[in-house]
Amino acid sequence: MRLFGLLALALAAGPAAQPAGPPGTGPVAYGQAAADSMPSPPPAPSVTGLAARDVRDDAGGAIELSWELVPGVTADSLLVSRSADGGTWETVAFLPGAEVVFTDEGLEDGVEYSYTVTSLLGGAASQPAGPVSAVPSAQWLHSKRTGMLIILVLLSGVIFWFIDQGRKGRKLYIREIAGLSAVDDAVGRATEMGRSVLYIPGIMGMDDIQTIASMIILGRVAGKTAEYGADLQVPVCNSVVMSVGQEIVKEAYLAAGRPDSYRRDNVFYLTDDQFGYAAGVDGIMVRQRPAAIFMLGTFYAESLILAETGKSVGAIQIAGTAMPSQLPFFIAACDYTLIGEELFAASAYLSREPKLLGSLKGQDAAKLIIMLVIVVGVLAASIGTWWAPAASLADFLRRILHVE
């Protein structure tokens, strides 16, 4: 709407507001047009310091124009004109008078474009600022993300090196994770008591890495329930998780040689609603009184509601999440809690597959590197307050780690 208003204003200004001809002829045309209709000279431009540059870190086809406003002069509107490779001039935009930047998009890479900016004041056009020129181009690497790329390559390199070491048969020590070691006991207890095992994979979908980690553990838990002949219930709050869960449990029962015991409906959808799901799961806990409850994945405010209800029915509870604010609730109400990255370590820990163990060691090594960088950064920033070289090191680290 605003654009149409400005267009009407520009048209109302008569020939003076029409886009200028090629540079050189423009100012003459403006002056004459103004002289024909008004005795006063054309108004002074309201913009100065016009500059054009290719937009950096983009897919090409864009040029950014920037300028400053002359103090005390504010145009009603600004008219941006463009010429490609010295050809004819065309109007590309009418802007509010206070604008100081404009990005022209949809251009052809490698072609030189020239621009002028004309101020429209009280129905008259000023002499145009410019012309200025630039050539749009596309970039292959985002210059502000180079540091991030280096870090990613470094961390990935460390992780892959350890995966390779694992593949080559190097002995890799993994400390005991009590929560994962207790999986067998929990399933065994449920079997002895003749009660079910309840597995809650969090409230997120398969695009959440914690849900994926949870699905990996579900495969192992399902393998144990198949082996021991215990009943497994998996209520989910996302339909994609349901499909994946059904496949994982089915494969686990097949692998355990008990395909007859697998029932598809044991992995079932309740609702996408956060607390509707919590209510549904609480109902299952209270009615079925499972002997073992696994809560592994992403949880939010419903974590304590689930964990406390589970405790009230006397189940052995193993929880795990990388959500820092929910960990205290699980620690307070559950028997075992996997903290943060322990959840992601579960796949390697439970399978003992060398490649996965290698990636776990790589992850630890990457953590060590990050810890070193943090310590060096903190020291450099602190010492840098009185010793300049340390300040430059801190600046360098800040620049490398900063992502735009």
Binders of another protein among residues 28 to 87 (CB under 8 A) are: 57-60
Nearer to another protein, 37 or 137 (CB): 137
Among 35-43, 113-121, 144-152, 177-185, which window interacts with another protein (CB under 8 A)? 144-152
Whole-number Cα distances in Å, 400 to 145, 150, 373, 393: 8, 9, 11, 11
Q: By CB under 8 A, is residue 155 in contact with another protein?
A: yes
Which residue in 52, 129, 172, 215 binds another protein (CB under 8 A)? 215
Q: By CB under 8 A, is residue 367 in contact with another protein?
A: yes
DSSP-assigned letter for residue 242 = H
CB of 174 vs another protein, minimal distance in Å:
14
Q: By CB under 8 A, is residue 185 in contact with another protein?
A: no
Whole-number Cα distances in Å, 215 to 181, 199, 202, 205: 17, 10, 10, 11
Site string for another protein, 221-250 (x = CB under 8 A): -----------------xxx-xxx--xx-x
The residues, ordered by sequence, that sit 6+ positions from 39 with a Cβ below 8 Å of its Cβ are none
Is 70 exposed, middle or buried, given 0-12, 13-18 or 19+ CB atoms closer than 10 A?
Answer: middle
Please report which helix (H) or strand (E) contains residue 67, including its range: strand 62-69
Site for another protein in 320-359 (CB under 8 A): 322-327, 329, 331-333, 339-341, 343-345, 347, 351, 353, 355-356, 359
Which residue in 138, 376, 391, 400 binds another protein (CB under 8 A)? 138
Site for another protein in 250-279 (CB under 8 A): 250-252, 254-255, 265, 268-276, 278-279
Which residue in 130, 363, 380, 397 binds another protein (CB under 8 A)? 363
Q: By CB under 8 A, is residue 205 in contact with another protein?
A: yes
Q: By CB under 8 A, is residue 149 in contact with another protein?
A: yes
Give one DSSP letter per residue of 133-189, joined into a string.
EE-----SS-GGGHHHHHHHHHHHHHHHHHHHHHHTT--------HHHHTHHHHHHH
Parallel, antiparallel, or unpaired for β 336-339 and 316-321? parallel
